[in-house]
Amino acid sequence: MLAYTIRRVLISVPVLLGSTILVFIMVKLSGDPLESIKLRNPPPPPQTIKLEEHRLGLDQSWPLQYWNWLKGLVLHGNFGAAVQPSDNIGSEIGSHLWVTMRLVFFSVLIALILAIITGVLSAVKQYSALDYTTTFFGFLFLSMPVFWFAVLLKSWGIWYNQNVSANTFYTIGDKSVVLENDTTWGHITDVAGHMVLPTIVLGLAGYAGWTRFTRASMLEVLNSDHVRLARAKGLRSRKVLVRHALRNALIPLTTVTALDIAALLGGAILTETVFQWQGMGALFVQSLRDKDAHLMMGWLLVSATIVILFNLIADLLYGVLDPRIRHA
Amino acid sequence: MRTTKGLFGLVAVGVASLLAVSACGGGSGSSTGGGDTSSSFADCATKPLTCNSGTTKQGGTVTYTIEKTISGWNLNSAESNTFDFQEVLDGVLPQGPFINTPDLQPTLNSDLMVSAEQTSTSPQTIVYKINPNASWNDGTPINADDFTYMWKTNNGVDCKTCDPASTAGYDQIQTVTGSDNGKTVTVVFKTPYTDWKGLFGPMYPAHIANQHGDLGASWKWLNDNQPTYSGGPYVITGYQKDASVTETPNPKWFGKTKPSLEKLVFRIITDQNQEVPALQNNEVQTIYPQANADIINQVKQINGVQYMLGKGLQWEHLDLNLKNPLMADTKLRQAIFTTIDRKQLISKTVGQFDPGITPLNNHNFMPNMDGYKDVISSTGQGTGDVAKAKSLLTGAGYTGVGTALKSPSGAPVQFRCSFTQGNVLRQQSCELFQTELQALGIKVTPTPITSLGDTLSSGDYDMIIFAWVQTPFIFSGAYQTWLSTSSSNYGHWTNSQSDALLKDAAQNTDHAKAVQDLNDADQIMANDAYVLPLFQKPTFLAAYSNIVNIRDDATSTGPPYNVQEWGMRAS
């Protein structure tokens, strides 16, 4: 298992390097990060432009710029200078990742619980009214654009607030700037009020796909020989369902969930934009807007590492869920 | 079955708990009712300095929206010299001897200054008398040291590692001398500088800067560190990175009007589409986004919110690139500009949400600025007069007029019309030009570009549409934008007579003469059909009607120019 893990980690290093090179070239080709300064009226003095170019390393050739970035990262853990001068890319990624993690954690929790419950029930009660209902809602959430759903949910939240004459739901940020009820309970309710709408948006988007996976997987397992055997042996249906069927059915869901969580941590871009959460999605947008190659490479490195890590976790979890699977 | 019910129950209890917990949140109250839109802003066009005035009551919080995350705190630095950061610091830093007020004029900052007058024209000498009570919030007087620090860090000479947004004016100063315990400052210029009222603002505390190294080091320190100092009505007491800046009244504020608000919050919303829902949900109380039809229509639906459309300092224009051999012909350029119908362009774009927009007829002064003179109408440009344009081309020896235009040398006349990708307004404009110029037999291809800066500096365009942002201090700006040798003169139009007039306008001690010189230079450029001004872009301010003394200021200072006067309406 350890050798397998080490091998997987080592294989990922050239993948990460290759992707940073690709992203570096793409960002460089997208334009000049100093464009907004150069286009000012009146224009800044040439010395100012030169100082900025030097600070960002733009006065060097592309290969040298990339090499210096890589050297700084490996030797000093430095992600390079950001276009926005007060930003430290390392701490920026850290703080943005934390914001996204909070959002993703609760969304995934809700989505997984709902997906497993409805998926199992749909499979057990195949072609029943319950199955058709969950299928309908599954496809509904699957087909709804996240951006549109988020805007719609915001409107509902505002409508609700206006009807109860209280700010129950918030539409921007992860907490209020000014809190009237400045107590621990006040802080908890404030954070919860900010989390409800984006969590529902992100959670339902994940739920829709996962419930279909669970249903399909459960149906396959429920029709397998070992489940029939378990029933024939006279085991209680709850025990058959949970211990023999669900455990096996969770294996494909584990893969999908692990990859989806990794993708979400890389940036739930649309949800974060609509609700103005300063997470990884916002950081990605900022790096694009600023044409900031260092920031984009840092973002990519962290996001790609998370994807690889969760991929690895999924592989390792197979062994836990099904002892027959062994990693040689 | 029992299990199922249990699980459903658990989920239901969980969701209900989450809703219940959030419902107990200490919000700032519901939206106010009323539905009176724009009533208080109605007279802003005629009374820009006093509209929406009112008596305030003590207390309350106003949250104002900005659209950029804070990248630095030194507003004089090129990196941090942006409109949004300026707004945040309007109430924290002394804005300078003169304030850019909503009438687009530099007005003496009577809180900071007793007087600021030109006492000699040769050499040009300005004497600033600082309010004896003016001090930073640590009690240190605001004095000549602060002026000297600003001069030395912005003149491009004394500080080699400083990156000022502009050295204009500071590089023409000979000496800055303090007297009267530093409360009188005498500035002597090497060469006259017409826009002297635009200098020395916003101001930073020299005594604090000096504690953090030499000029270069302190300059960087001022940019990297959130101000705890203040020389204005408010002091920053909270900063949540990428989210908000919170300000509370500065107890040492020396100005005439003391702030009545308990807190002033600048909320960062980077996607302007999210500003209206936040306003509707009363999470912010005032927004200042770029005007568009969607936003205006949404704001109109919100009860208790008033709004105004103002005349901004940003103006759209169509530029021709004279590096293209065909464009080098003045007659062709004149024909192109004459064919374009600006009224039609406006009615099909911005006129749909702001019927007050009219064609702009000057390249420097806006219609709501002193000095504005129409230099375009007499040329016939922008009128859509196809017959006149055709006769210009026929007279100049062009063939295929109205079908497939060819130059006198036989070259087919076809151009790209470049616009920034994703900018619908500019795309529509280029498509309209395409249709209009077809009447002359000119083939125009609308061409999206990804980088406006790269396209302009490389000169890889034939026609291009973009915007400039003016300031009330236009003389130095015009000199740097239109001079034959300027790097901002992207289309490479050259004219020695215009250059002389531009220089004279920028280096003059007689303001009236400077205005005349600049308009004369502008007339020469207009006659040569180099850049066609299209229209002045509107500004849009929306605020709850219980907030008084807030009004539009289209200059780089923004609506918070008078932030100490903002407050909750006294009933």
Task: Count how many Cα atoms sit within 13 Å of the Cα of residue A20 in the half-sphere of its side chain.
Answer: 23
Q: How many CB atoms lie within 10 A of CB A126?
A: 13
Do the chains contact at B450 and A178, CB–CB below 8 Å? no
Instruction: Give the tokens for residue B438.
Output: 């077809």
Q: Cα–Cα distance between A163 and A5 in angstroms, integer?
A: 55
Give me the count of residues in chain A.
328
Indicate the pLDDT class of residue B31, thresholds 50, 70 and 90: very low
* pLDDT at B19 exceeding the cut of 50: no
Q: Do the beta carbons of residue A108 and residue A259 sit within 8 Å?
A: no
- Interface subset of A 189-248, CB within 8 angstroms of B: 189-190, 192-193, 195-196, 238
Indicate the pLDDT class of residue A257, thresholds 50, 70 and 90: confident
Mutate to test the interface with A, among B283, B301, B313, B468 (most CBs of A within 10 A): B283
| pLDDT given at position A181 | 80
**Residue B335 — left, alpha, or beta (φ > 0 → left; ψ -120 to 50 → alpha)?**
alpha
Which of B224, B281, B480 shows the shortest C-beta gap to A161? Answer: B281
What is the enclosing helix (H) or strand (E) of B420? strand B414-420
Give every CB contact of residue A250 below 8 A, 6+ residues apart in sequence: A116, A217, A321
Q: Cα–Cα distance between B402 and A296 in angstroms, integer?
A: 50
Task: Please state, rounded to an integer, the average pLDDT across all residues of chain B.
Answer: 90
How confident is the model over B164-185, as pLDDT tens digits?
Answer: 888 889 999 999 999 999 999 9
| pLDDT given at position B544 | 95
| pLDDT given at position B365 | 94
How close does chain A come to B487, measured CA to CA in Å?
Answer: 8
How close does chain B come to A93, measured CA to CA in Å?
Answer: 13
Lowest-pLDDT range of A74-83, B32-41, B73-82, B305-314: B32-41
Measured between beta carbons, the chain B residues lying within 8 angstroms of A169 are 22, 281
Do the chains contact at B243 and A177, CB–CB below 8 Å? yes
Which of A128-137, A183-192, A283-292, B390-399 is modeled with the greatest confidence? B390-399
Integer CA distances (angstroms), B466 to B7, B68, B136, B463, in order: 60, 21, 41, 10
| pLDDT given at position A152 | 94
DSSP H helical ranges for B68-196: 83-89, 144-154
Task: Count how many Cα atoms sit within 13 Å of the Cα of residue B434 in the half-sphere of its side chain.
Answer: 14
| pLDDT given at position B23 | 40
* pLDDT at B27 exceeding the cut of 60: no
Give every CB contact of residue B435 below 8 A, 6+ residues apart in sequence: none
Which of B3, B22, B165 shows the shortest C-beta gap to A44? Answer: B165
Mutate to test the interface with B, among A50, A116, A169, A276 (most CBs of B within 10 A): A276
Measured between beta carbons, the chain A residues lying within 8 angstroms of B457 are 38
Q: Cα–Cα distance between B298 and B353 in angstroms, integer?
A: 12
* pLDDT at A275 exceeding the cut of 90: yes
Q: In B514-570, which ranges are E strands?
A: 531-544, 547-548, 567-569
Region A256-274 average pLDDT: 82
Instruction: Give the tokens for residue B320.
Output: 């021709």
The secondary structure of A229-285 as a DSSP string is HHHHTT--HHHIIIIIIIHHHHHHHHHHHHHHHHHHHT--HHHHHHHT--SHHHHHH
CA A70 to chain centre: 26
Region B45-55 average pLDDT: 92
Please indicate whether residue A9 or residue B376 has the higher confidence score (pLDDT).
B376
How confident is the model over A6-53, as pLDDT tens digits?
Answer: 887 888 888 888 988 998 998 888 888 888 788 776 678 888 888 889
Integer CA distances (angstroms), B18 to A115, A125, A163, A190, B526, in order: 19, 30, 19, 11, 65
Q: Could you tell me which of B107, B115, B231 has the C-alpha nearest to residue B557?
A: B107
| pLDDT given at position A327 | 54
| pLDDT given at position B7 | 35
| pLDDT given at position A267 | 60
Indicate the pLDDT class of residue B34, thresholds 50, 70 and 90: very low
Bond before A42 cis per omega within 30 degrees: yes
Q: Does A37 contact B at CB distance below 8 Å?
A: yes
| pLDDT given at position A132 | 94
Lowest-pLDDT range of A84-88, B75-79, B107-111, B292-296: A84-88
Integer CA distances (angstroms), B459 to B320, B427, B487, B491, B492, in order: 10, 19, 11, 7, 9
How close does chain A come to B281, measured CA to CA in Å?
Answer: 6
| pLDDT given at position B28 | 37
Instruction: Give the tokens for residue A221.
Output: 């397992």
Instruction: Domains for chain B: give ranges and CATH numbers.
Output: 313-537 (3.10.105.10)
Q: Cα–Cα distance between B356 and B349 in angstroms, integer?
A: 12
How confident is the model over B410-453, as pLDDT tens digits?
Answer: 999 999 999 988 788 899 999 999 999 999 999 999 999 877 87
Q: Could you tell me which of B546, B564, B571 has the C-alpha nearest to residue B32?
A: B546
| pLDDT given at position A42 | 67
What is the enclosing helix (H) or strand (E) of A304? helix A293-321
| pLDDT given at position B165 | 86
Region A214-227 average pLDDT: 91
How confident is the model over B452-463, as pLDDT tens digits?
Answer: 877 887 889 999
Between CA B184 and CA B194, with CA B190 as vertex, the angle to 5 degrees is: 80
Task: State which residue of chain B sits closest to A174, comparing Cα positions.
Answer: B243
Fold of the CATH domain A96-291 = MetI-like fold (1.10.3720)
Task: State which residue of chain A sits closest to B167, comparing Cα positions.
Answer: A45
* pLDDT at B286 exceeding the cut of 90: yes
Q: Do the beta carbons of residue B224 and residue B71 sit within 8 Å?
A: no
Domain boundaries, chain A: 96-291
**Looking at this protein, which amino acid is placed at residue B455?**
T
| pLDDT given at position B469 | 79
- Interface subset of A 265-324, CB within 8 angstroms of B: 273-276, 278, 282, 285-286
| pLDDT given at position B38 | 62
CA B342 to chain centre: 23
Measured between beta carbons, the chain A residues lying within 8 angstroms of B277 are 151, 154-155, 158, 171-172
Indicate the pLDDT class of residue A217, thresholds 50, 70 and 90: very high
Query: Is beta strand B244-249 parallel, antiparallel or unpaired with respect to B234-240?
Result: antiparallel
Between CA A102 and CA A110, with CA A104 as vertex, the angle to 5 degrees is: 105
Give me the count of residues in chain B.
571
Instruction: Give the tokens for residue B338.
Output: 């004459």
| pLDDT given at position A19 | 87
How confident is the model over A175-200, as pLDDT tens digits?
Answer: 998 887 888 998 999 999 999 999 99
Percent of chain A past pLDDT 70, that is, above it, reads 97
